Chains A and B, each alone.
Chain A
Amino acid sequence: MSTVTHPGPGDTTTVAPAGSAKPRPIAEFLSTYVFSKDHKVIGLQFLFSTLVWFLIGGLLALAVRWQVAWPWSDVPVLGKLFAQEGGQMSPEFYTMLFTMHATVMIFLVIIPILAGAFGNFLIPLMIGADDMAFPTLNMLSYWFMWPAFLAFGASFFVEGGAASSGWTSYPPLTTNPAASPGSGMGQTLWLIGLTFVGVSSMLGSVNYMTTIILMRAPGMTMFRLPMTIWAMFITALLQAFALPVLTAAGFMQLFDRSIGTGFFSPEGSIINNEMTGAGGGQPLLWQHLFWFYSHPAVYIMILPAMGMVSDIMTCFARKPLFGYRPMIYSVAGIAGLGFIVWGHHMFISGMNPALGMTFMVSTMMIALPSAVKTFNWLGTLWGGRIQFTTAMLFSISFVSMFIIGGLSGIFMAATPVDIFIHDTYFIVAHFHYVLFAGTAMGVWAGIYFWFPKMFGRTMNEFWGKVHFFLTFIFLNGTFFTMHILGAVGFPRRLADAYHYETFHHLQPMNAFMTYCAIGMVACQVIFAANFFWSMFYGPRAGRNPWNANGLEWTAPSPPGHGNFDVQPIVYRGPYEYSVPGCEKDHLMQTDPPLETAVAAAH
């Protein structure tokens, strides 16, 4: 790799190179902030775009919750769309809401914010590279998100509204435009959007793998990489192997819809009282193809968060990561097993029950690595000097919540029990504990932790903790109750379940959950305010505000173009905290070997 030798810009530098902007300021601005090939700028572009979609997704969720809690009542603001009906939303509008909530959260928030935002920003910094292996590819990976943004965004305004067949997009509901209002133009746009997200992720993952393999700083062996990088690396592998299947399946569905192929449509059904045309297909085929990507995707959506949490925890426990290699092996294990468990989404789908048994076994096995990781995190906390920074609180809550999400998974893995709780609020609780209480918490931890590196200033700790506290309370209020709703068998995706005798008494509980959800979204205002206020007025951060060990902390905050002012040389792993015989409680990866350090101290 090229050794970086240009003069270090020092603490005060911003991302923009000083001066030289005179002749063509616009072009300069564009190339620096918009079509930049600098991994940090691209990372931030990902971060900001995804945070905007995070807000949209949250608001969609509120609308969904409103209908679930008070079906057919006048919806605030949205009700205007249904003035003739006195403001009550129509059922197909509701199905559109939850479909797009999931779609936005998964494809436009979680996946891109982890790989796109943090992956881009952190990988070169943490491995001591001056940039990604393929900067242009990297830029493209961001700009390929825009067609997706536009497709998903536009689909709300087309005839019939956006896709409304659930984020899993099961045919024949999706392949036959007559089957549901959202299966018209909206579904086509959905598939197009999905394809572009795929392309973007693919470009990203290729880039990450190459960078991590080829551009590590001298001395940075694979087993000196921070967990974040390991997680990103495995994630990239998952993406690279699973994505093509989804893309292919997406095109097959597109063909079924547009040119009348019949991959997923069976012979002779009557949909919306019309005989269907093409036939001979098999709806289950889509489910297999879809989950072959989407189950690994579940890990794509959590592994990077696990990595980041591991790094943040060690830093604020001032203690080496407990079981570094086991952690890596379990990540790899999750990735490996992740490819042979997709069938557990299909236990009652009509798939051969014998197949269900095998998938049950593999699914039970994939619980192991997760358990190992959890125990290791506990081990990391044990005997540490825990500092309750906001980032640390979010990390701890990640572990605490991940335990819940992980354990509830075992219920679904057990096929007989799954017969009852499949497609009930139990599963809704499960994946919200993993994805929101897990990943989202990890993401916040990451933001609070690396914010100084991103903007050269630290976020406000007091309001950070307020934000954590409220979010933590409200999220449990919202999602924990879902478990017992699921125990009643309360099905997901019903616009109004209360006309079933079995469920009509659950309305008050749903109302409570909706209040919590409103609170949860509302308190993100604190985060937004803190985020933008600190960007400009936060206290200036030095290079290493948390006294952490990673390479990124040897670079200026924010790092200039090319990241490091001196080429970092790595002497040790990233978790050398509280090393005996060394009076400062952390040894950075670049610090010269211990003997010399001690000698220097004398």
Chain B
Amino acid sequence: MNLPSATACKNNQPTTTAPRLSLACLGVCCLLPILAGCGQTPAATFRPNMVESAKQRLQPEQEQQVATILEAMFGTPDNPVVLPETGLDIAKLRLAAGPVHSDIVGRKNGLFREHCSHCHGVTGDGMGPTAAFLNPYPRDYRPGWFKFKSTERADKPTHADLVTILNNGIYGTSMPSFELLGETKVDALVEYVKYLSMRGEAELSLMRYYFELDDEDEGKLPETRDFLIEEILLPVAERWQEAEDAVIEVPEMPEVDLTESIAMGKELFYGNKANCVKCHGVTALGDGQANDYDDWNKVVKQWSAELQSAHETSTSDMTSEERSEHRAWLAKSDRVLAGDALDPRTIQPRNLRQAIYRGGRRPLDLYYRIHAGINGAPMPAAAGTLSPDEIWHIVNYIRSLPYEFDGELGADRSMVARDRL
């Protein structure tokens, strides 16, 4: 063994070894806090809509312009900003935004990241850490489509609609009930969801606008108030504000005996007019249509198909720099598809015999679903085709389905899982 250690061997009394060791320990002990210190991660950021960006073939500087404009209009996850045009309440947003912490009042802030972001993502893109494991996937707010609401198919939900969703949860999905948070918190969260949705829609229209640009714009969006507010923000914001007065008028349930009504509903259900049977199946177990996608998954599905064909198209008649550009875009798109989109899943029509109604079990809710269809889902609207009375009959029939056992189900009895009702 070498000399220093050899000498170390000789003086091996605790007294002399103590300082040596203490230095070593001190060193390491001080090291730990430092390690912890440098462990601090940067503040949370909004993730750009990479899928749309890749679809629109945006250049990095264009992506950055979008990010900059959005930060100007909406701020950051920790520090949201709202322009008066959005009609959002900044006080509520502050309650929901930012990291989880208590402020001076001892009131809990950062509600969204405490309760929502691990599924819906800090950006509201439905891509939080937990998202990939959930079935169905958590909602992506950015396209601004919402399923369960009291307004017409293409309209935004009312504030109350979203509150109801948060209060009741969505039975049949991984969305739990948040009623016990209390009104103020739920209210704040709903406001924040609107905020994220508006931001996401604004981002989409910004990214899409690059295609609309003329050549003299040199691929740069005008950063004028007219453009950003009038063209981008208001169209989105106004539709949110209109929602409040776009609630569907619901005529009273017809004055017919329930069993009759159910019988008529059943006729419609299986008949050629309402055609419910086509998707929900002759057993009403939701086994009629298995190979369709909802709009969120369709976007990814179709785009990956486009990518596929883009991979196949011959690059022979391209100039060399066109080709390299094409290749770069393909490479980027593939990474985006892998990292910024969840593998598309087919959507199953609802099994109507489990007494699980995602949009709520009130007759009213079912009326809305049938009247306006379900935005983002294949479910079409019946209004105009069916009279309100006919819709009510179907509602009554559907509500009776979980309790109907006329042997039609045959072997599928177990699927009813009556005990679970």
Q: Which residues of A contact B13 (CB under 8 A)?
A: 539
Contact A83 B42 (CB under 8 A): yes
Contact B17 A533 (CB under 8 A): yes
Across the interface, A272 reaches (CB within 8 A) one of B129, B135, B417, namely B135
Contact B100 A85 (CB under 8 A): no
Measured between alpha carbons, how far is A585 from B132 in the docked complex, in Å? 69
Q: Which residues of B contact A525 (CB under 8 A)?
A: 25, 28-29
Residue on B with the closest CB to A504? Answer: B108
Q: Which residues of B contact A87 (CB under 8 A)?
A: 40-41, 44
Contact A537 B18 (CB under 8 A): no
B110 contacts partner chain A, Cβ-Cβ < 8 Å: yes
Return B377 CB to nearest CB of chain A, in Å. 15
Contact B12 A537 (CB under 8 A): yes
Return A577 CB to nearest CB of chain B, in Å. 26
Per the CB 8 Å criterion, the residue count for chain A at the interface is: 49
Which one of B20, B25, B414, B420 has the greatest number of beta carbons of chain A within 10 Å?
Answer: B25
Contact A88 B5 (CB under 8 A): no
Residue on B with the closest CB to A458? Answer: B12
B136 contacts partner chain A, Cβ-Cβ < 8 Å: yes
Which of B30-46 touch A at CB < 8 Å? Answer: 32, 35-37, 39-45
Return B125 CB to nearest CB of chain A, in Å. 10
Contact A79 B8 (CB under 8 A): no
Residue on A with the closest CB to B419? Answer: A268
Across the interface, A82 reaches (CB within 8 A) one of B9, B43, B129, B174, namely B129
The stretch among A66-74, A124-132, A231-239, A478-486 that forms the contact with chain B is A66-74
A76 contacts partner chain B, Cβ-Cβ < 8 Å: yes
B163 contacts partner chain A, Cβ-Cβ < 8 Å: no
The stretch among A89-97, A363-371, A444-452 that forms the contact with chain B is A89-97
A583 contacts partner chain B, Cβ-Cβ < 8 Å: no
Return B62 CB to nearest CB of chain A, in Å. 22
Contact B39 A80 (CB under 8 A): yes
B256 contacts partner chain A, Cβ-Cβ < 8 Å: no
Across the interface, A267 reaches (CB within 8 A) one of B24, B77, B414, namely B414
Across the interface, B18 reaches (CB within 8 A) one of A76, A86, A462, namely A462
B60 contacts partner chain A, Cβ-Cβ < 8 Å: no
Contact A84 B12 (CB under 8 A): no
Q: Which residues of A contact B39 (CB under 8 A)?
A: 75-80
Measured between alpha carbons, how far is A61 from B134 in the docked complex, in Å? 27
Known: A71-B100, A273-B172, A537-B5. Is A85-B129 also a contact (CB below 8 A)?
A: yes
A275 contacts partner chain B, Cβ-Cβ < 8 Å: yes
Known: A88-B100, A272-B134, A460-B14. Is A79-B21 also a contact (CB below 8 A)?
A: no
A526 contacts partner chain B, Cβ-Cβ < 8 Å: yes
Contact A73 B100 (CB under 8 A): yes
A538 contacts partner chain B, Cβ-Cβ < 8 Å: yes
Return A522 CB to nearest CB of chain B, in Å. 5
Q: Which residues of A contact B288 (CB under 8 A)?
A: none
Which of B74-115 touch A at CB < 8 Å? Answer: 77-78, 99-101, 110, 113-114
Contact B415 A88 (CB under 8 A): no
Contact A526 B130 (CB under 8 A): no
A274 contacts partner chain B, Cβ-Cβ < 8 Å: yes
Residue on B with the closest CB to A501? Answer: B180
A601 contacts partner chain B, Cβ-Cβ < 8 Å: no
Contact B14 A461 (CB under 8 A): yes
Per the CB 8 Å criterion, the residue count for chain B at the interface is: 52
Contact A272 B174 (CB under 8 A): yes
Q: Which residues of B contact A80 (CB under 8 A)?
A: 39, 41
Residue on B with the closest CB to A496? Answer: B114
Known: A90-B128, A92-B129, A181-B130. Is A85-B113 also a contact (CB below 8 A)?
A: yes
Measured between alpha carbons, how far is A279 from B401 in the docked complex, in Å? 25
Return A371 CB to nearest CB of chain B, in Å. 38
Return B51 CB to nearest CB of chain A, in Å. 16
B47 contacts partner chain A, Cβ-Cβ < 8 Å: yes
Residue on B with the closest CB to A465? Answer: B14
B117 contacts partner chain A, Cβ-Cβ < 8 Å: yes
Q: Which residues of A contact B101 (CB under 8 A)?
A: 73
Residue on B with the closest CB to A92? Answer: B130
Contact A273 B173 (CB under 8 A): yes
B147 contacts partner chain A, Cβ-Cβ < 8 Å: no
Contact A86 B24 (CB under 8 A): no
Contact A88 B28 (CB under 8 A): no
Return B46 CB to nearest CB of chain A, in Å. 9
Across the interface, B100 reaches (CB within 8 A) one of A72, A75, A267, namely A72
Known: A82-B129, A84-B45, A92-B133. Is A526-B110 also a contact (CB below 8 A)?
A: no
B122 contacts partner chain A, Cβ-Cβ < 8 Å: yes
Known: A82-B41, A460-B14, A537-B9. Is A530-B21 also a contact (CB below 8 A)?
A: yes
B118 contacts partner chain A, Cβ-Cβ < 8 Å: yes
Measured between alpha carbons, how far is A77 from B40 in the docked complex, in Å? 7
Contact B113 A88 (CB under 8 A): yes
Contact B44 A85 (CB under 8 A): yes
Which of B321-377 touch A at CB < 8 Å? Answer: none
Known: A86-B99, A537-B17. Is A529-B113 also a contact (CB below 8 A)?
A: no
Across the interface, A463 reaches (CB within 8 A) one of B8, B18, B130, namely B18
Measured between alpha carbons, how far is A239 from B414 in the docked complex, in Å? 43
Contact A90 B35 (CB under 8 A): no
A340 contacts partner chain B, Cβ-Cβ < 8 Å: no
B388-416 interface bits toward A, Cβ cutoff 8 Å, 1 = contact, 0 = none: 00000000000000000000000000110
Q: Which residues of A contact B118 (CB under 8 A)?
A: 85, 90-91
A382 contacts partner chain B, Cβ-Cβ < 8 Å: no
Measured between alpha carbons, how far is A522 from B121 in the docked complex, in Å? 35
Residue on B with the closest CB to A86? Answer: B44
Return A529 CB to nearest CB of chain B, in Å. 5
Contact A74 B40 (CB under 8 A): yes
Contact A273 B135 (CB under 8 A): yes
Across the interface, B12 reaches (CB within 8 A) one of A72, A180, A539, namely A539
Known: A83-B41, A460-B14, A533-B17. Is A88-B25 also a contact (CB below 8 A)?
A: no
A271-301 interface bits toward B, Cβ cutoff 8 Å, 1 = contact, 0 = none: 0111100000000000000000000000000
Chain A residues with a Cβ under 8 A of chain B? 71-80, 82-88, 90-93, 160, 178, 180-181, 267-268, 270, 272-275, 460-463, 496, 499, 518, 522, 525-526, 529-530, 533, 536-539
24 residue pairs of the A-B complex, CB under 8 angstroms, read A71-B100, A73-B101, A74-B40, A76-B35, A79-B39, A79-B41, A86-B41, A86-B42, A88-B113, A92-B130, A92-B133, A181-B133, A268-B420, A270-B420, A273-B136, A460-B14, A461-B14, A463-B21, A522-B32, A525-B28, A526-B25, A533-B20, A537-B8, A538-B12
Given contact pairs A88-B99, A460-B18, A539-B12, a sample of 17 additional A-B residue pairs in the complex whose CB atoms are under 8 Å apart: A75-B39, A77-B36, A83-B41, A84-B47, A84-B122, A85-B128, A87-B40, A88-B100, A90-B129, A92-B130, A181-B130, A272-B135, A499-B114, A522-B32, A526-B21, A533-B17, A537-B17
Top 3 A-B pairs, shortest CB-CB distance: A76-B39, A86-B44, A87-B41
